[in-house]
Chains A and B, each alone.
Chain A
Amino acid sequence: MTIALPRTRRSASEQQDRLKSVLIMILRIVLCFVFGLPLVFLIVASFKPDTQIFADLGSWAAFLPVGELSLDNYIGVFERVPFAQFMMNSVLISVATVALGIVVNSMAAFALSRVQFRGQKLILGIVLATLIVPFETLALPLLWWCNQLPYFGIDGFSQGWLDTYEVQIIPFIANAFSIYLFYQYFDSIPKELDDAATVDGAGWFRIYRSIVMPLAGPAVATVAILTFLPAWNSYLWPLMVVQSEELRPAMVGIDYFKQLSVSWGQLMAYASMITVPILVLFIAFQRAFINSIASSGVKG
C-alpha cells in the first residue's frame, strides 16, 4: 500500500534531501582540500626553486604550478642520495616484513583461535597487553638484544644483527595487532569446517593452509596494509641500527636534505618520489582495501 503525500510536503522533503546532499558534498570537498592540499603543495613545490617556494608561501601560488618551474630539484635528488638503493631497500624491508608477518601472525592467531591448550587465553591476554607499550620505550632494550643475538648466514656464524637487513625486518614480523586481527577473523569462521576437514584426515597445518587461510582474504589484506605502512615509514629504528648507506631505507634519506641550509625543493622532490608510488598503489587497490578493512572490523 502506498500513501500519497501532499505535493507540498513531498517537495519540501525533496528539497530537504537535496540540501542535505549539497551540504554533504560541500563537506566532502572541504575535506578533500584539507587532506589534498598538503600533497598538492608537496608536488608543486618540488618543481620550484627554494626562494620561490618561500616567496609563494601565504598565497594560493604555493599550490599552483606558477613561476620558474624545472626538474632541477629532481636532478639534485639523484646527485645527493642513492635513490634507487634506498627505494630498493625500503621495498625489500617492507615486503619481507609483510610477507613473513602474514605467515607468522596468522599461524599464531590460528593456534590461539582453533587449537585448544591450557593457558590459551592467558597467552592471548599477554599478546594484547604488549599493544599498550609504545615502540619508543622498547627501542633501546631491543637494540641491546639485537646486538647480542647470533645469526647464521652464508658467511657462517656471526654475533649481533646491527647494520644488516634482518635487524630491520625480523623484530617487526611478530605483531600483536596483526595476531589480534587474524584471531578475531578466524574466530568468525565456523569451527564445523575444521571438524569436517579432520574427518577427511586433515591435520592442523592442512586446516590452516587449505581451509582457514583461503577464507581469510580480508584479514590478510588488512594486516598487509597495516604492516606495510609502518615498515615503509620506519625512521627511528633504522637510524639506530643501520650505519651503512647501502642498507638505509628511503625514509632516512629525507635527512640528507636537512643541512645547515635546507634544500627545500630537493626535499619536496624526494618526498614526492617516495610518497607518490605508494599513493598510486593504494589508489589502484583502494576498493579492495576499503572492503577488506570494513569486513575485518577495523574502523577509524
Chain B
Amino acid sequence: MPSDPVRGVRTIDASEELVKSGLIKKLATVGLAAALALTAAACSKGGTTPGTQAAGGPVELSMWTHNAGNKGELGAIESIVTEFNASQTKYQVKVQAFPQDSYNQSVVAAAAAKKLPCILDIDQPNVANWAWAGYLAPMEGMDDVLSKYLPSTVAKWNGKTYAYGYYDVSLAMVTRKSILKKYDIREPSIDQPWTGDEFMAALEKVKASGDFDYPADFATGWTGEWWPYGYSPQLQSFGADLINRSDYKSAEGVLNSDKAVAWATWFQKLAKDKLIPKKSSADPALDFVNGKSAFLWNGSWTAISTREKFGDDVLFAPPPDFGNGPKVGGGSWTWGISTNCGDAAGAAEYMKFAAADKYVAKVAKDTNNIPTTDAAAAQVPGFEPGGANDIFRQFSKKYTTMRPETPGYPFIATEFAKVSQDILAGADPKSALDQAVKNIDANQAANNYFQ
C-alpha cells in the first residue's frame, strides 16, 4: 500500500479513490453513450448549398441574420420571410439567426469555407470591405425603390449598390430638461445646437456642483465599432476626418491635421479634467438612469429606458457643434446578397419584395429604430413628423456623415479606436495621430489602395 513517506501514514492513492468511486467506469459508460448519441446526431445533419432545389420542390434560399436573442427584430424579419414564402411557390427563404456579438466572425469564417448563405445582413461599415473581398454581389434594378431610403441606409461601393437597411440609428447627447434648468444651461435645438464652448461650460458647471459622479458619460467602456461610430463624428465636427475622401487613399493631412490634434486635445482634456470617466461602466445608459451622470453621449437606442425613468424630462439634444457643424455617424444593419448564392435571381426577388414600405415600418416599429422611408415613418408611432422620436430622424437627415465607404474602413476603424484609447489614456495627441496615419497609409499601400 502506498504511504506518505513524510508523515509515515497510509494515504489513499488517487487511482484507488477513482476506482472506489467508480469514476472511471462511469466516465467510460457516459462517454460511450455520448459517442453513440454523437454518431446518431452527426449522421442526421448535412450541409446544403445555398440556393439549391430539392427534387421538384421550391428553391431554398438560406438567410443569415445577426438577431439571435433579439426577439423584436428577428420576429419582424421572420414575418417578412413568411409573407414572401406564401406569396409565391418558386422560392423558400430559410432564416438562420446568429448572435450579434459574434456574427461577423461567423460570416468571415463561412466566407473562408465558401459557405455563405444567399441573403445575409451586414453592418453597413463592413459592406465595402465585404464587397471588395468578393462576399457580396451588387444589387440591380432597385434604384427607384432605394431612392426613397435615407442615404445612410443604402450601402454603395464603387458606384454599385450592395445592401440596403430598414432603419438607421442616431447619436444624441442625452440629458434632462430639469438638469439644464437647475444649472442654468441653455436648451439646445436642431437649429441652435450647443457650440463646443457652451458644451464645455455646461460640463464645468455641473462638475462644480458635485452632484454627479461625472458630469458626462461618453461610453468609453465600450469597445470595437463604437469608437469610430461614437467619436469620429466629433473629430469631423472639429473639421478633420478619418481619411481623405477625395480618393480614399491616405489619411495624411486629415487624421493628423491641426484640427484633428485639436479634437484629440479636447478629447483628452475631458478625461484629464474628470468631465467624463476615462473608462465608463459596461452600461453607461443605466448609469445615466441611476443619476450618475448628467449628460450621456449615446444614441436613439436609449430612448426607451431613459423615457421609462424620466418621462418627458429626458432631452435628446443635438451633438455639440465644434466648428464644422454637429455630426452623427450613419449606417446600421443592412441586407445584401452573397456571391455564393446558387440562385441569385431568387435572392434578388426576395430583396425587392422585402424593400416595401410596410416592411420598413414593421422592422422599424419592432426595433424602435429610425424608419428609412418617409412613408414608413408615417406608419410608425413616434417617428411620424412631430412624434417623440422624430428628432432622431431629423438628426439622421441633417447631421449624418457616413463612415468612409471604402474597403480599408475596418482597418481605419481599428486604428482610430486604438489611437483614441491611447489619447484618452494620456498619449501625446500629435504623435499618436501621426502613428495612426502611418499605419493606415501602410495598410492602404499594402492592399494596393483596394483597387
Task: Give B12's nearest chain A residue, CB to CB.
Answer: A291
How distant is the Cα of A155 from the Cα of B40 in the complex, in angstroms?
10
The answer to whether B100 touches A258, judged by C-beta atoms less than 8 angstroms apart, is yes
A108 interface contact, C-beta 8 A: no
B345 interface contact, C-beta 8 A: no
Q: Which of chain A's residues have a CB closer than 8 A to the CB of B169?
A: 260
The answer to whether A259 touches B19, judged by C-beta atoms less than 8 angstroms apart, is no
B98 interface contact, C-beta 8 A: yes
Kindly supply a per-residue 1/0 record for chain A positions 267-300, scoring 1 wherever the CB is within 8 Å of any chain B CB and 0 otherwise.
Answer: 0000000000000000001011001101110000
B405 interface contact, C-beta 8 A: no
A92 interface contact, C-beta 8 A: yes
Contact of A162 among B31, B40, B100, B115 (CB under 8 A): B115
A54 interface contact, C-beta 8 A: yes
Kindly supply a per-residue 1/0 record for chain A positions 39-55, scoring 1 wherever the CB is within 8 Å of any chain B CB and 0 otherwise.
Answer: 00000000000110111
The answer to whether A144 touches B41, judged by C-beta atoms less than 8 angstroms apart, is no
Q: Which of B171-230 contact A (CB under 8 A)?
A: none
Contact of B14 among A50, A261, A288 (CB under 8 A): A288
A244 interface contact, C-beta 8 A: yes
Task: Give A55's nearest chain B residue, CB to CB.
Answer: B290
| A175, chain B: closest CB distance, angstroms | 15
Question: Number of A interface residues, CB 8 Å?
Answer: 68
Q: A258-B100, A295-B14 are in contact. Are A96 and B31 (CB under 8 A)?
A: yes
The answer to whether B69 touches A221, judged by C-beta atoms less than 8 angstroms apart, is no
Contact of A155 among B12, B35, B46 (CB under 8 A): B46
Task: Give B106's nearest chain A residue, CB to CB.
Answer: A239
The answer to whether A54 touches B287, judged by C-beta atoms less than 8 angstroms apart, is yes
Q: Which of chain A's residues have a CB closer than 8 A to the CB of B106?
A: 239-240, 243
Q: Which stretch, A6-14, A115-123, A125-133, A163-171, touches the partner chain B?
A: A163-171
Task: Give A264's nearest chain B residue, CB to CB.
Answer: B283
The answer to whether B286 touches A162, judged by C-beta atoms less than 8 angstroms apart, is no
A147 interface contact, C-beta 8 A: yes
Contact of A165 among B12, B38, B70 (CB under 8 A): B38
The answer to whether A258 touches B99, judged by C-beta atoms less than 8 angstroms apart, is yes
How distant is the Cα of A217 from the Cα of B26 in the complex, in angstroms?
13
The answer to whether A256 touches B286, judged by C-beta atoms less than 8 angstroms apart, is no
Contact of B21 among A244, A252, A259, A288 (CB under 8 A): A288
Q: Is the interface of B mostly helix, strand, loop or mixed?
A: helix
The answer to whether B97 touches A245, judged by C-beta atoms less than 8 angstroms apart, is yes
Q: A98-B31, A153-B43, A291-B17 are in contact. Are A220 and B69 (CB under 8 A)?
A: no
Task: Give B100's nearest chain A residue, CB to CB.
Answer: A259
The answer to whether B17 touches A287, judged by C-beta atoms less than 8 angstroms apart, is yes
Contact of A257 among B34, B69, B102 (CB under 8 A): B69
How distant is the Cα of A300 from the Cα of B244 in the complex, in angstroms?
52
| A73, chain B: closest CB distance, angstroms | 14
Task: Give A103's nearest chain B residue, CB to CB.
Answer: B31
Task: Give B302's nearest chain A residue, CB to CB.
Answer: A261
How distant is the Cα of A164 from the Cα of B14 in the complex, in angstroms?
37
The answer to whether A285 touches B14, judged by C-beta atoms less than 8 angstroms apart, is no
Q: Which of chain A's residues have a CB closer than 8 A to the CB of B47?
A: 158, 160, 162-164
Q: A50-B286, A288-B18 are in contact. Are A217 and B68 (CB under 8 A)?
A: no
The answer to whether B18 touches A99, judged by C-beta atoms less than 8 angstroms apart, is no
Question: Number of B interface residues, CB 8 Å?
Answer: 62
A69 interface contact, C-beta 8 A: no
Q: Which of chain A's residues have a CB closer than 8 A to the CB of B30?
A: 95, 99
Contact of A216 among B15, B23, B31, B110 (CB under 8 A): B15
Kindly supply a per-residue 1/0 record for chain A positions 158-193, scoring 1 wherever the CB is within 8 Å of any chain B CB and 0 otherwise.
Answer: 101011111001000000000000000000000000
Task: Give A163's nearest chain B residue, CB to CB.
Answer: B47
The answer to whether A259 touches B69, judged by C-beta atoms less than 8 angstroms apart, is yes
B145 interface contact, C-beta 8 A: no
B130 interface contact, C-beta 8 A: no
How distant is the Cα of A147 from the Cα of B112 in the complex, in angstroms?
10
Kindly supply a per-residue 1/0 record for chain A positions 4-48, scoring 1 wherever the CB is within 8 Å of any chain B CB and 0 otherwise.
Answer: 000000000000000000000000000000000000000000000
The answer to whether A217 touches B15, judged by C-beta atoms less than 8 angstroms apart, is yes
Kindly supply a per-residue 1/0 record for chain B positions 9-36, scoring 1 wherever the CB is within 8 Å of any chain A CB and 0 otherwise.
Answer: 0001111111101011001101110110
Task: Give B109's nearest chain A residue, CB to CB.
Answer: A240
Contact of A258 among B31, B101, B287 (CB under 8 A): B101
The answer to whether A143 touches B13, judged by C-beta atoms less than 8 angstroms apart, is no
A61 interface contact, C-beta 8 A: no
B52 interface contact, C-beta 8 A: no
B245 interface contact, C-beta 8 A: no
How distant is the Cα of A174 from the Cα of B216 in the complex, in angstroms?
53
A66 interface contact, C-beta 8 A: no
Task: Give B20's nearest chain A residue, CB to CB.
Answer: A288
Contact of B99 among A92, A96, A256 (CB under 8 A): A256
A249 interface contact, C-beta 8 A: no
The answer to whether A215 touches B282, judged by C-beta atoms less than 8 angstroms apart, is no
The answer to whether B41 touches A51, judged by C-beta atoms less than 8 angstroms apart, is no
The answer to whether B45 touches A99, judged by C-beta atoms less than 8 angstroms apart, is no
Q: List 26 A-B contacts (CB under 8 A).
A: A55-B286, A57-B281, A81-B69, A92-B34, A96-B35, A100-B31, A153-B43, A160-B47, A162-B47, A217-B14, A220-B24, A239-B106, A243-B64, A243-B98, A245-B68, A257-B69, A261-B285, A285-B21, A287-B17, A288-B17, A288-B23, A291-B14, A291-B17, A292-B14, A295-B13, A296-B14
11 more A-B residue pairs beyond the given contacts A54-B286, A217-B16, with a C-beta to C-beta distance below 8 A: A99-B32, A140-B112, A154-B43, A162-B113, A215-B15, A220-B27, A236-B105, A239-B105, A260-B301, A264-B283, A285-B21
Q: What 4 pairs between A and B have smallest CB-CB spacing? A: A99-B31, A256-B69, A217-B15, A153-B43
Query: Which A residues are closer than 8 A to B by beta carbons?
Result: 50-51, 53-55, 57, 79-81, 91-92, 95-96, 98-100, 102, 140, 143-144, 147, 151, 153-155, 158, 160, 162-166, 169, 214-218, 220-221, 224, 236, 239-241, 243-245, 247, 252-253, 255-262, 264, 285, 287-288, 291-292, 294-296
